[in-house]
Amino acid sequence: MGEDERRQTFGAAALPSVLWVVMFSILRLDPAAALAYVGPGAGLSAIGSLLAVIAAILAAILGFLWYPLKRILRKRRMRRAAEGKSAEHDPVP
């Protein structure tokens, strides 16, 4: 079985699972299917949890970006300070 034949059979085999996912997603959008009530306590807890997850994700992204950037800026500042000190101590010809 060649590579092209494997791709075609995988694509055909994946189609029913994709249809199930689409159908399940559409059914999840219908609020009448749940027939459930979310009270104010559970609703506030869900909103608080969602905000906490969003804050954690943003803090992780900020940490991954900020600390390497901070290290680069510190090296640049130290290099400029070293260049400035060396220029002060060099005799002028």
For residues 48 and 25, membership in a common domain is answered with: no
For residue 37, which amino acid is it?
Y
Same-domain pairing of 30 and 45: no
Collapse the DSSP code of 6 into the 3-class scheme (helix H, G, I; strand E, B; otherwise coil) and give the result. Answer: helix
In order of 6, 30, 59, the CA distances from 26 in angstroms are: 30, 7, 33
Q: What is the pTM assigned to this prediction?
A: 0.46
| Residues contacting residue 33 through CB under 8 Å, at least 6 positions apart | 27
Residues 72 and 55 in one domain: yes
* Separation between Cα atoms, residue 85 and residue 18, nearest integer Å: 66
Q: Are 50 and 92 contained in the same domain?
A: yes
Number of domains in the chain: 2
- Shared-domain flag, residues 57 and 32: no
Structure confidence by residue, pLDDT tens digits, 9-48: 555 666 678 888 888 888 777 766 667 777 889 989 999 9
